[in-house]
Chains A and B, each alone.
Chain A
Amino acid sequence: MRREHLLLGLLAAALLALPLALDRYQTSVLVLVFLSAYVGQAWNVMMGFAGLLSLGHALYVGLGAYVSAALFVHFGVSPLIGLLAAVAVCVGVAMAIGALSFQFRIEGVYFALLTIAFAEVARIGFDHLKWTGGAGGLFLPVAGSDGQWWNLRGGPLFFYYVALAMAAAAFALCAALRRSKLGYQWLAVREDAEAARAVGIDVTRARMSAVVVSAAMSALGGVVHVFYYNNVFSAQIFDMTRSIDIMLAPIIGGIGTLFGPILGAFILVPLGEGLIFATQALGVNAPGAKAVFFGLALMIIIFLAPNGIWPSLRKRLGIGEAKP
């Protein structure tokens, strides 16, 4: 444990000081890394801890983004307050999906499909919702508000620290959950729901709490996403490829581990950026090239190392993370 804490401290210090050595672009890449690690951590609560495969996780990110952005655009509500509304909406939707699924014993493949279906419903719904700009998207005013931190207005450097704090907080939260009574109940449910029931665990309640925690975390991810990009389009934010992006980092890093989503994000985001450069340099004007590569990476990882990279890396570093 000593060694783990030391490494963690060093990493934190390095990340706090890092922007000094980075240009604007590199900083913005790291913002994406942290956001990806953050949302990956949220997804991991459902899949990695409670064994619930959410294939439509973009739903919660998108809802969080839309709710907070609409409140800000229409009523000037600060995202710090809009966040509460975003979390409330996401938790409400998550509970509705959870109630539907767990009440009617929709499990496994069916549950995963249901999550996609709800994300699709949201995509189509927001496409037609005039109040949030419909298919044309919702735009946040950019000019003249820089530096209003309470409105989450700022440049890459500002968002660097926001996203870093989020990734760190999500890590801490998940580490605490993982060691809590609820965390062990999740693992039990993931491993064998019927056996979990037999030792007195209310499986429905455990699953519901995982869905709620994950949705609430994802809502914040959506809020920061929209205030960072200043726009949101239903066709993009709720798209299935976005949901897959969310899953990729924790899968490649290691499902059910605490460092997996972080490691995965540090690998995938820069790789994606590099691929964009590479395809541009090669003169391949192919919009799908990056995604083809990711698809292949996903297949190869799940083929060769279904537990992800972190478990084996952890052994080499000699760090003891509680076994998932």
Chain B
Amino acid sequence: MTLSLVLEVLIQGMLTGLVYGLMALGLSVIFGVVRVVNFAHGEFAVVGMYAAFLLFAALKIDPFVAMGLVAAAFFVVGYFLQRVVVTHFIRRPDHEQFILLVGLAIVMVNGMLMIFGPDARHVELSYSYDSWMLGPVLIDKVRVFAALAALGVAGALFAFFRYTQTGLAIRACADNLTGAGVVGLDVDRLYALTFGVGLACVGAAGALLICVSDVTPMLAPSFTLLAFTIVIIGGLGSMGGALLGGLVIGVAEALASLVIAPSMKSMVSFALLVVILAFRPQGLMGKRAA
């Protein structure tokens, strides 16, 4: 194990971690505002992967372009999912929300299994195997592009929540729901927008993930867990925390694959999760609940 190999793995982990972070950001945004845990989050990520895969296979649309289309489509899906279905569950007990979304997750993952079968698919880009040499360290171009795109989308999201009227209104909802209602904000609409934005994130992340990883339907549950792990480590409801959690998990898993075994990598994430839950339950960047 040479130093350059370790460096390479570290950098790869960070780059992939940023894409994971974008995926988790969607989960975090939805939970932070709507207070619903999207248990089908990984399933949406995989649908995003398949969508980008299909767009590439059928129309030769580059996934980095398809990312925009997928995100837009996912926004619409999220908007209506919240308006039509999830809204009825906002005031219901936690376990009922959970079960609803678990049901949705089962439908999605098995629906994909019916449509695409269990075999792995991937996208072969002209620059799939290009890389840069940074001294002795080899860096994949696609991974860099994917990480930059993830940062770009996350940046756009930060700007949306900080500078637009709608973004500020959504944050007002998250901070003080009753207050938001009192000052006349249309909470239902803002919730639907938030759900849409959250799914747009995960859709974009899916389109990016297809560039760096094969897709099978069975990835979905592990992505859901991954997203949760990241969000809890970073801090539920904290946007920066989701990206930071993604980085942490990306690096931890990459190192675990190298040092222990690729199939054991999620053990490391779960170990991190347990440590965080025990000693810093609000996550790395979360605020402690009163």
Contact flag (A, B; Cβ within 8 A): yes
Interface residues of A (CB under 8 A from B): 47, 53, 55, 100, 103-106, 108-110, 112-114, 116-118, 120-121, 124-125, 127-128, 240-241, 244, 247, 251, 255, 286-292, 294-299, 302-303, 306
B111 and A292 contact, CB distance less than 8 A:
yes
Tell me the complex Cα distance, A124–B270, Å.
11
Given contacts A110-B281, A287-B113, contact A124 B103 (CB under 8 A): no
A251 and B99 contact, CB distance less than 8 A:
yes
B106 and A291 contact, CB distance less than 8 A:
yes
Q: Is the interface of B mostly helix, strand, loop or mixed?
A: helix
B274 and A117 contact, CB distance less than 8 A:
yes
B residues 111-168 in Cβ contact with A at 8 Å: 111-114, 118
B277 to chain A, nearest CB (A): 5
A219 to chain B, nearest CB (A): 22
A124 and B263 contact, CB distance less than 8 A:
yes
Judge if B104 is at the interface, Cβ distance under 8 Å. yes
Tell me the complex Cα distance, A53–B273, Å.
18
B96 and A302 contact, CB distance less than 8 A:
yes
Residue from the list B110, B261, B277 in contact with A295, Cβ < 8 A: B110
B270 and A120 contact, CB distance less than 8 A:
yes
Contact residue range for chain B? 35 or more
Residue from the list B37, B107, B266 in contact with A299, Cβ < 8 A: B107
Chain B residues with CB under 8 Å of A294's CB are: 106
Chain B residues with CB under 8 Å of A112's CB are: 95, 98
B residues 54-110 in Cβ contact with A at 8 Å: 85, 88, 92, 94-96, 98-100, 102-110
Chain A residues with CB under 8 Å of B232's CB are: 110, 113
A109 and B104 contact, CB distance less than 8 A:
no
A288 and B95 contact, CB distance less than 8 A:
no
Judge if B278 is at the interface, Cβ distance under 8 Å. yes
A288 and B270 contact, CB distance less than 8 A:
no
Tell me the complex Cα distance, A300–B23, Å.
28
B83 to chain A, nearest CB (A): 15
Residue from the list B85, B105, B270, B277 in contact with A106, Cβ < 8 A: B277
Chain B residues with CB under 8 Å of A288's CB are: 109-114, 217
Judge if B225 is at the interface, Cβ distance under 8 Å. yes
Tell me the complex Cα distance, A113–B273, Å.
10
A244 and B113 contact, CB distance less than 8 A:
no
The 7 closest A-B pairs by CB, nearest first: A288-B110, A295-B106, A298-B103, A288-B113, A295-B107, A299-B103, A291-B110
Tell me the complex Cα distance, A108–B232, Å.
13
B106 and A113 contact, CB distance less than 8 A:
no
A182 to chain B, nearest CB (A): 21
Tell me the complex Cα distance, A117–B102, Å.
16
Tell me the complex Cα distance, A51–B283, Å.
25
B281 and A104 contact, CB distance less than 8 A:
yes
Q: What would 20 more interface pairs be, CB under 8 Å, given A124-B264, A287-B118?
A: A100-B278, A103-B278, A109-B98, A113-B232, A114-B274, A114-B277, A117-B225, A117-B270, A118-B270, A128-B264, A240-B221, A244-B106, A247-B99, A287-B114, A292-B110, A295-B107, A297-B103, A298-B99, A298-B103, A303-B88
B281 and A53 contact, CB distance less than 8 A:
no
Chain B residues with CB under 8 Å of A251's CB are: 99
A295 and B263 contact, CB distance less than 8 A:
no
Judge if B259 is at the interface, Cβ distance under 8 Å. no
B residues 201-246 in Cβ contact with A at 8 Å: 217, 221, 225, 228-229, 232
Residue from the list B96, B112, B267 in contact with A125, Cβ < 8 A: B267
B106 and A292 contact, CB distance less than 8 A:
yes
Chain A residues with CB under 8 Å of B108's CB are: 295
Tell me the complex Cα distance, A76–B46, Å.
45
Tell me the complex Cα distance, A125–B260, Å.
13
Given contacts A106-B277, A302-B103, contact A124 B95 (CB under 8 A): no
Chain B residues with CB under 8 Å of A297's CB are: 103
A104 and B110 contact, CB distance less than 8 A:
no
Residue from the list A103, A121, A295 in contact with B103, Cβ < 8 A: A295
B94 and A108 contact, CB distance less than 8 A:
yes
B102 and A105 contact, CB distance less than 8 A:
no
Given contacts A105-B281, A116-B225, A287-B114, contact A124 B107 (CB under 8 A): no
B155 to chain A, nearest CB (A): 28
B215 to chain A, nearest CB (A): 15
Tell me the complex Cα distance, A116–B105, Å.
15
A131 to chain B, nearest CB (A): 17
B107 and A109 contact, CB distance less than 8 A:
no
Tell me the complex Cα distance, A287–B115, Å.
10
Given contacts A106-B277, A117-B273, A117-B274, contact A244 B110 (CB under 8 A): no
A103 to chain B, nearest CB (A): 8
B104 and A306 contact, CB distance less than 8 A:
no
Q: Which A residue sits closest to B260, measured CB to CB?
A: A128
Chain B residues with CB under 8 Å of A124's CB are: 263-264, 266-267
Given contacts A55-B98, A114-B274, A302-B100, contact A292 B267 (CB under 8 A): no
* A–B complex contacts, Cβ < 8 Å, 19 sampled: A53-B95, A106-B281, A113-B225, A117-B270, A121-B267, A124-B264, A124-B266, A128-B261, A247-B99, A255-B95, A287-B110, A287-B114, A288-B112, A291-B109, A291-B110, A298-B99, A298-B103, A303-B85, A306-B96
A134 to chain B, nearest CB (A): 11
Given contacts A121-B270, A296-B103, contact A128 B263 (CB under 8 A): yes
